[in-house]
Structure 1
Amino acid sequence: MGNLLGSWRFKEPSTVEECDSTWGSDSESDEPPAEDDSGISDSFSPADSEHRAAGDPEDTSPQLQDSPESVPKMKRSFYAARDLYKYRHSYPNYRKSRQPNEYRNLRFYLNKIPLVPDGIYIEEILTKWRGDYDKLEHNHTYIQWLFPLREQGLNFYAHELTQDEIKEFQSTREAKRRFLAAYSLMLDFYGIKLLDKSGNVARAPNWQDRFQHLNESQHNYLRITRILKSLGELGYEAFKAPLVRLFLEESLCNNTLPNMQHSVLEYFVYTIRLPATRRRLLRYARKHYRPAHAFLWGPPPKRRGGAGGGVGAGSSGIRAPAPTPEQQRRGDESPASPSASSGIIVSSHDAVMCQDPAGGGLGPNMVGLELMMAGARGERNEYNEIVPL
């Protein structure tokens, strides 16, 4: 028995549906039908293959704009879904770092060693780089040091995090203080300001110029994905939802970041580990996504009347057997059951005014950003929030 357990390895998911637990059984009972029940693909697209070869975790598929009859169907990226599944589940096949565990990320944040290969210390970055947008844009070696992960980035001199280092980092006040300063530095680069110690964010005074740059400089979407992942690794899981929510509003409602729409839905949302929080964000996104039929991220439509129910985005992909003629006849004679829908629990803090492309008017669209108050395993960060691991 010992040999069998010792040789067991985690089996990686092989479909998008297996990677995505957002619309699980706990949420299917209160969801209205989706506008579209297709678009999920179990296989790689040519674009996915190119990103895999380049080592690029981001996907920039074009946004659909026309009717469903006149445009090809988009697909969810299996590469993205699998990458973020591994992240949310703490890298189930994680192997030890290729380098000795010297706590180099923590020592960098304690200002004891510089980043490699540039030889720059963290304090210099935090004090002299703020507002130097050209440097932040064109230097590609610092981001892996500022936002470390348990996976390799493009800077092979940077070290991957380990579980022991993560625990030590989270218990070191000086490192956490500088980490939040680094987060604020990058938010300013993107035209966003950090409002408080709960992670709430808003537009910065220079948001117009910075959003225009962010909309055009799409390699920054890779950086944002990494930043979100690192927030979760180092104890700031609750900081993700406010930032993702802002990006959804700007890209879908305000049209200030239209090129970000696909990345925020395919990547940013799925860095969030708590399914309930992902559901709230995706409900908000589905309400404002245009064209509505092209929304691929759920929820799946309800099954109606038993056998023969449809399978939608995020469902298991298993279809019920085709009904017999007698079952079909009985089904045709029975009245259609209306589908139920439920309201979204909201708070006044989360109320926003958003342009409705369909109605043309302004109306309140309220979405609750749930605090991280669940998780079988969790720790409290310095702001007394329960952070699921």
Structure 2
Amino acid sequence: MGNLLGHWRVKEPSTVEECDSTWGSDSESDEPAAEDDSGISESVSPAESERAAEDNGDSTNQLTDSPESPPKMKRSFYAARDLYKYRHCYPNNKKSRQPNEFLNLRFYLNKIPLVPDGIYIEEILTRWRGDYDKLEHNHTYIQWLFPLREQGLNFYAHELTQEEIKEFQSTREAKRRFLAAYSLMLDFYGIKLLDKSGNVSRSSNWQERFHHLNESQHNYLRITRILKSLGELGYEAFKAPLVGFFLEESLHHNTLPNMQHSILEYFVYTIRLPATRRRLLRYARRHYRPAHAFLWGPPPKRSRFKGGDDGASVGAGSSGIRAPAPTPEPQRRVENSFMSSSVCSGMLVSSHDSVSAEGMNTYAGIGSSMDRLEGVLMMKGDEYAEAVPL
């Protein structure tokens, strides 16, 4: 029996709607659309469609009904599947047979340098801050500073394991340096970390750094990795303030217009709690232009009466995907009981101490109205995946 269970694999999703339960796990998806959300559909302008398709690296995202009709966009299945695996703790990952040497933890304890550069963490934290050319053009450090349970472009970097995550989260020195590394990268992007709750604001040189970030789009991949790593190492609560900040800058202030697609397709979906994703997406839907091109709203509702070919009724906020089956009531209760939970590490971690941001120049957008993620309950990935659809 042990051997049979050892080879058992979870069936992976094959569609975007199977990857995303953001709206399907809560009755809030039935709420009426806001006034500026009416008439939302899939169609977008040709220029926007082309730009988004280039961002995805997938030409199949463009569909044309006729020479006269504008191209249509679809959400990237590649992105949805990648983030589904992350949120479900990589359910089909095989346990390594190699001895766990905790190389990521040892790097953060300043005992070994990153490979291949031979640089220690303390040197990066003390000498690289403000050296924006080095942070931009060196492509080997990011996998060491923000490790994941997946392979990055630096094949000398090592993937995290469950055991290493537990040890990392119980090591004060490693956690201190990890937050320093997070602050280092935020400064590179023109952002400053305000407190132990993860709130952020613009730094003094934000205009220069935002201009660079708006043009240097490979950094969006780095930000996705940073967000994932925050969740792996016990800082799930830090994600929403940063993603909310990016949404406000991109959609409301238009300071980071080129980042819009990456925020909505990737950054939001690194967040494990569906309720938090819904809050962010509702904010985005209110500010997204053109409104009819917003793809990340609730799925179209199915009519109880037959109409058209399949009886489906497409309403405002449609993402162009079918609504998943309703979540059973017992399962909803389980989800609600874990609303302040972060998953995958197999241990209980206390919440971060809050620091008052009164008097600070923090942004007054989506993050300021979002509920704090207080307790952080860590469970094994397979247990949580069975109980709560993420």
Q: TM-score w.r.t. structure 1 length?
A: 0.75
The CA distance in 1 between the partners of 2:95 and 2:30, in whole Å, is 42
| 1:24 equivalent in alignment to 2:30 | no
Superposition pairs for residues 244-259 of structure 1, below 5 Å? 244-259=243-258
How far did residue 94 of structure 1 move? 1.1
Contact 1:280-1:368 within 8 A present in 2 as well: no
Aligned match of 2:371? 370
Q: TM-score w.r.t. structure 2 length?
A: 0.75
| 1:59 equivalent in alignment to 2:63 | no
Larger Rg: 1
How far did residue 101 of structure 1 move? 1.5
Aligned match of 1:206? 205
Aligned match of 1:36? 40
Aligned match of 1:93? 92
The CA distance in 2 between the partners of 1:178 and 1:366, in whole Å, is 25
Contact 1:199-1:239 within 8 A present in 2 as well: yes
How far did residue 226 of structure 1 move? 0.2
How far did residue 36 of structure 1 move? 2.9
How far did residue 74 of structure 1 move? 1.3
2:312 to 292, 309, 316: 309
How far did residue 8 of structure 1 move? 2.4
How far did residue 370 of structure 1 move? 2.9
- Pick closer, same or farther for the CA change 1:267–1:276 going to 2, 3 Å: same
How far did residue 378 of structure 1 move? 5.3
Contact 1:280-1:367 within 8 A present in 2 as well: no
Contact 1:20-1:314 within 8 A present in 2 as well: no
- Pick closer, same or farther for the CA change 1:223–1:81 going to 2, 3 Å: same
Contact 2:192-2:203 within 8 A present in 1 as well: yes
Q: Does 294-303 or 257-266 show the bigger shift?
A: 294-303
| 1:160 equivalent in alignment to 2:164 | no
Superposition pairs for residues 333-348 of structure 1, below 5 Å? none
Aligned match of 1:175? 174
CA offset digits 1:48-93 (Å, max 9, x no partner): 9x99xxxxxx7378999xxxx8631111000000000000000001
Q: Does 98-107 or 81-90 show the bigger shift?
A: 98-107
Count of matched residue pairs: 326
Aligned match of 1:279? 278
Amino acid at match of 2:312: G
The CA distance in 2 between the partners of 1:242 and 1:318, in whole Å, is 28
Superposition pairs for residues 314-353 of structure 1, below 5 Å? 315-316=321-322
Contact 2:285-2:294 within 8 A present in 1 as well: yes
**Identity of aligned pairs, percent?**
77
Amino acid at match of 2:125: L
How far did residue 25 of structure 1 move? 3.8
**Per the alignment, in what secondary structure is the counterpart of residue 18 of structure 2?**
helix
Contact 2:24-2:323 within 8 A present in 1 as well: no
Contact 2:42-2:73 within 8 A present in 1 as well: no
The CA distance in 1 between the partners of 2:50 and 2:5, in whole Å, is 38
How far did residue 24 of structure 1 move? 1.5
- Pick closer, same or farther for the CA change 1:27–1:315 going to 2, 3 Å: farther
User: Where does the alignment leave 5 or more consecutive residues of structure 1 unmatched?
Assistant: 40-44, 52-57, 320-347, 355-364, 380-387
Aligned match of 1:233? 232
Contact 2:110-2:120 within 8 A present in 1 as well: yes
**Per the alignment, in what secondary structure is the counterpart of residue 283 of structure 1?**
helix
- Pick closer, same or farther for the CA change 1:153–1:104 going to 2, 3 Å: same
Amino acid at match of 2:31: E
The CA distance in 1 between the partners of 2:132 and 2:257, in whole Å, is 21
Contact 1:37-1:301 within 8 A present in 2 as well: no
**Per the alignment, in what secondary structure is the counterpart of residue 202 of structure 1?**
strand
The CA distance in 2 between the partners of 1:318 and 1:235, in whole Å, is 30
| 1:71 equivalent in alignment to 2:70 | yes
The CA distance in 1 between the partners of 2:57 and 2:254, in whole Å, is 17
CA offset digits 1:262-285 (Å, max 9, x no partner): 000000000000000000000000
Amino acid at match of 1:297: W
The CA distance in 1 between the partners of 2:171 and 2:324, in whole Å, is 48
Aligned match of 2:259? 260
How far did residue 98 of structure 1 move? 7.7
How far did residue 288 of structure 1 move? 0.4
Aligned match of 2:222? 223
How far did residue 173 of structure 1 move? 0.3
- Pick closer, same or farther for the CA change 1:70–1:289 going to 2, 3 Å: farther
Amino acid at match of 1:310: S
| 1:242 equivalent in alignment to 2:241 | yes
Contact 1:37-1:310 within 8 A present in 2 as well: no
Q: What is the aligned-residue RMSD (CA, Å)?
A: 3.4
